[in-house]
Amino acid sequence: MNQLIDSFGRIHTYLRISVTDRCNLRCTYCMPAEGIALKRKDEILTYEEIYRIAKAFVEMGINKIRLTGGEPLVRKDLEVLVEKLKSLPGLDVLAMTTNAVLLKDKVSILKKLGLNALNISIDSLQKERFKEITLRDDLDNVLEAIDMAVKANFDSLKLNVVIIAHKNDNEILDFIEFVKNKSINVRFIEYMPFKDNQWDASSVYSYAQMKKIIETGYQLAPLPINKGDVAKDFQLVNYPATVSFITSMTDSFCSSCNRLRLMADGSIKSCLFYAPEMNLRDELRSGISDHELKQLFLSVVKQKPEAHPPMEELAKLDNRAMVEIGG
């Protein structure tokens, strides 16, 4: 097997697949105010094409796949793809990141089909602020879906919370309160710069600040670091919940990065903050063999940079919008 090893010895075992560039929310930190140039349907990979790429990747050592978007649940019949991917021998974990607006009706089927892990994004527990951040009035739907997801007993259930200075930084303890008695991992994410997402350095609320706030009321005990982990993980002492921090801005984790990204239009991205991509869709449609496909994967991996630049420089990159990349 040709392993996906880059020029710096990092072995890639985790593939994130964005299944659509469309979204039913308009989170101001993710979706540019003027929207994005949406791809035509024929520019988006079909489920068969996604499956073919995923299968080849799994044969090269990918053992975890996460479905993302845009919003993955706005793509029709996502269950069909989940079922197909679950059949891949060698795939240990199939996960999904969702805003949960459409999750209520899908939780049980997704669990039944074998989706292992679910990350739900929610940045405010306050109705008005949720609306201000997402430009939609969907908090109640999301809270109901979280409740159902807790009951469904996924192997892993996480909440993704992007903390933005002066926007929702005063809700950190509310989120801890919300999860503390549940089997949930709450992940506080530092605000990252992407195309037209209103980012500036003063809006970054750092890991150190977040941790300090939590420790005014709770004890955090460090948990062991697993290979490829991008989060700093803690047990909330005396509670079932765990707390993590994604510190991309103040303490990046490039040296242990094991991820690749496939976007909805068939482009592969080797790093969240490295703009060059390789599009596989046209190759796929012009009859490329599996062997040739795998050689293309290897060439993308070989070009992966060692690390991304510091945050002020990231803001100037000509990168895609986050809503297209998928996290």
Closest CA to 261 of 97, 49, 68: 68
Q: Which is nearer to ligand SAM, 158 or 294 (CB)?
A: 158
First to last CA, the chain: 28
Q: Which is nearer to ligand SAM, 13 or 68 (CB)?
A: 68
Smallest distance, ligand SF4 to C-beta of residue 62, A: 23
Name the one range near ligand SF4 by CB under 6 A: 68-76, 78-86, 210-218, 219-227.
68-76
Name the binder of 191 from ligand SAM, ligand SF4, none, CB < 5-8 A by kind: ligand SAM
> Are 90 and 110 a contacting pair, CB within 8 Å?
no
Question: In sequence order, what DSSP letters do the residues of 74-127 get, joined into one string?
Answer: GSTTHHHHHHHHHT-TT--EEEEEE--TTTTTTHHHHHHHT--EEEEE---SSH
Binding status of residue 21 toward ligand SF4 by CB under 6 A: no
Q: How many binding residues for ligand SF4 (CB under 6 A)? A: 12
Binding status of residue 327 toward ligand SAM by CB under 6 A: yes
Rounded Cα distance, 63 and 176, in Å: 31
How far lies 99's CA from each of 90, 136, 187, in Å? Answer: 28, 12, 14
Smallest distance, ligand SAM to C-beta of residue 59, A: 26
Binding status of residue 97 toward ligand SAM by CB under 6 A: yes
Neighbours of 180 (CB within 10 A): 16
Cβ neighbours of residue 306 closer than 8 Å, sequence gap 6 or more: 7, 8, 254
Binding status of residue 193 toward ligand SF4 by CB under 6 A: no
Smallest distance, ligand SAM to C-beta of residue 92, A: 21
Q: Which one of residues 30, 74, 120, 249 is an interface residue with ligand SF4 (CB under 6 A)?
A: 30
Name the binder of 242 from ligand SAM, ligand SF4, none, CB < 5-8 A by kind: none
